[in-house]
Amino acid sequence: MSTTRLIINNNGSVKVEGDFEIVDKEGNVYGLGGRDVVSICRCALSKNKPFCDGSHKGHFEHEAIAFDLPPKKI
C-alpha cells in the first residue's frame, strides 16, 4: 500500500494523492474514475463539492505553513 499525502495549497484546495478512498457521511464511496490524485475544496465556493473546481481563485486566502499542534489531551 502506498502512502497517502495531503498537500495544503496556498490560497486553494487540499490535494490528496496516493492510495485513498473518499466516503460521504453514510459511508458511500465517491467514484473517482481511476484517479489517484484529487483536490478537495477548502473555500466552500465549489459547485462540485467536496472537490475543488477552481472557484476559490481571487476569493480565498490562506498561506499554508506547517506548524506543530499542541500535545494531545489525555
Cell of 43: 473555500
Q: Residue 21: is its pLDDT beyond 70? A: yes
The rounded distance, in Å, linking the Cα atoms of 72 and 16 is 25
Q: CA dihedral defined by 53, 58, 60, 9, rounded to 10 degrees?
A: 60
Which triple of cell numbers denotes residue 44?
466552500
| Cα-to-chain-centroid distance, residue 29 | 16
- Predicted model pTM: 0.86
Write the pLDDT tens digit of every residue in 25-68.
999 999 999 999 999 999 999 999 999 999 999 999 999 999 99
How far is residue 51's CA from residue 42's CA, in Å, rounded to a whole number? Answer: 9
DSSP characters over 36-61:
SEEEE-SSS--TTTTB--STTTTT--
